[in-house]
Amino acid sequence: MEFDPADADLSLASLFAGWALADELQRRLGGEGFADSRFADGVVFQHLVGGPVTISTLAEKLGVTQQAASKSVADLQSRGYVSRRPDPADARARIVVLTDRGQAVIAAARKHRAALDAEVRQTLGDDRVEEARLLLVDLIDQLGASPSLRARAVRPPR
């Protein structure tokens, strides 16, 4: 049985639109040499854009165990997006740092998100897109998600 997107409620319509935009972003990143990047990498990157953090701090910010954070970091490290270095403040601890490749994928993602926004505005009209964007921002506020966004503490739904 087929599903008509026009029948989607607000929750599903916003989810599916976000997924479609994320898929297009990933496709464009692949074209720039970041085919190994994943949407979920951004959940970790958001905590590294402000500078290096320890694994324990990263785990706390992600709301996961240190083992889970270490596993995510090891995966990102194997793909060249982060590196681990000794913490200058504590010789026993290691800090996680974005590499040049990590900085580059973040810059490319920002560039492509801006381009997608401009393309959608050109196709659907600036007023419609801005109205939809503001509606979603209001919904974020209404549902109490703004503080976690402001703190760069976005987590996937449970």
* Mean pLDDT along residues 28-46: 95
pLDDT at 29 over 90: yes
CB 140 within 8 A of CB 149: yes
pLDDT the model gives residue 150? 85
Using DSSP's 3-state secondary structure scheme, residue 87 falls into: strand
Domains and CATH numbers, the chain: 15-150 (1.10.10.10)
pTM for this structure? 0.89
